[in-house]
Chain A
Amino acid sequence: KQEVTQIPAALSVPEGENLVLNCSFTDSAIYNLQWFRQDPGKGLTSLLLIQSSQREQTSGRLNASLDKSSGRSTLYIAASQPGDSATYLCAVPLAHSGSARQLTFGSGTQLTVLP
């Protein structure tokens, strides 16, 4: 059974700081890993998807890396802004389910960026 863990559960940083969010998974036989953002009471917004053959993906101030062998992924946010305040979740497909859309989610990291 795949288990996804995110550390820390909550993080508060001053504006402008660079930060790293961590995600670990127990079954390294993953096909990809996605990072999502969730604002309070809202749905999820996909930020980055890393295929298993890739080591990292970048979008603007966001950079996500994937190390399958160690079962880890990191999301790096550069020059954080108050608008980045949200809960960040990582998710991996259940490898043996036959579906890339049956995701196992971590519990998320609640990020607060202080002005």
Chain B
Amino acid sequence: KAGVTQTPRYLIKTRGQQVTLSCSPISGHRSVSWYQQTPGQGLQFLFEYFSETQRNKGNFPGRFSGRQFSNSRSEMNVSTLELGDSALYLCASSQKVPGQGFSGANVLTFGAGSRLTVL
């Protein structure tokens, strides 16, 4: 069973540019969450998508956006990059079962991440 695939694994951008990161969840997983990891702030929740709809968003500016496609694949976009956006961006998929709420299959499976460096 293939895991969560994130592309690209590494990328370098300059300030002011924009970037798009991709995440393919485990087959059958319909929930995709995104996290940002930095040495200073640790792991922080960005947003969650389920059935092509953003369900929750963390405390990040509007420059951070995302979307989910009908096949559950997700992309996140960061516009007008700043030096502080340099981070490891992690995607996680989950086999959310409608109606189960917080119980049941909510173990997150993470991808290897996309490491973004902003110069």
**Please, how many angstroms separate the alpha-carbon atoms of A44 and B6 in the complex?**
13
Residues of B within 8 A of A102 (CB): 33, 45, 48, 56, 58
Surface stretch bound by A, among B11-19, B61-69, B71-79, B109-117: B109-117
- Interchain CB contact under 8 A, A43 and B112: yes
Q: List 17 A-B contacts (CB under 8 A).
A: A34-B108, A41-B88, A41-B115, A43-B4, A43-B90, A43-B111, A43-B112, A93-B106, A97-B56, A100-B96, A101-B48, A101-B96, A101-B106, A102-B58, A106-B42, A107-B42, A108-B42
> Contacts A97-B56, A99-B55, A99-B56 given: A104-B110 contact, CB under 8 Å?
no
Query: A86-106: which residues lie under 8 A (CB-CB) from chain B?
Result: 89, 91, 93-94, 97-106
Q: Contact mask B94-119 → A, CB, 8 Å, 1/0? A: 10100001110011111111010000
Q: List the A side residues contacting B101 at CB < 8 Å.
A: 100
Judge if B43 is at the interface, Cβ distance under 8 Å.
yes
Q: Once the chains bind, are A46 and B56 in contact (CB under 8 Å)?
A: no
Tell me the bound Cα distance from A57 to B38 in angstroms. 30
**Is B22 located at the chain interface by the 8 A CB criterion?**
no
Whether a CB of chain B sits under 8 angstroms from the CB of A70 is: no
Residues of B participating in the A interface, judged by any CB pair closer than 8 Å: 4, 6, 31, 33, 35, 42-45, 48, 55-56, 58, 88, 90, 92, 94, 96, 101-103, 106-113, 115
**In the complex the two chains form, is A31's CB within 8 Å of B103's CB?**
yes
A105 to chain B, nearest CB (A): 4
Count how many pairs of residues, one from A and one from B, have CB atoms less than 8 Å apart in the complex: 72
Q: Is the CB of B42 within 8 A of A43?
A: no
Q: Within the assembled complex, what's the spacing in Å between the Cα atoms of A105 and B44? A: 7
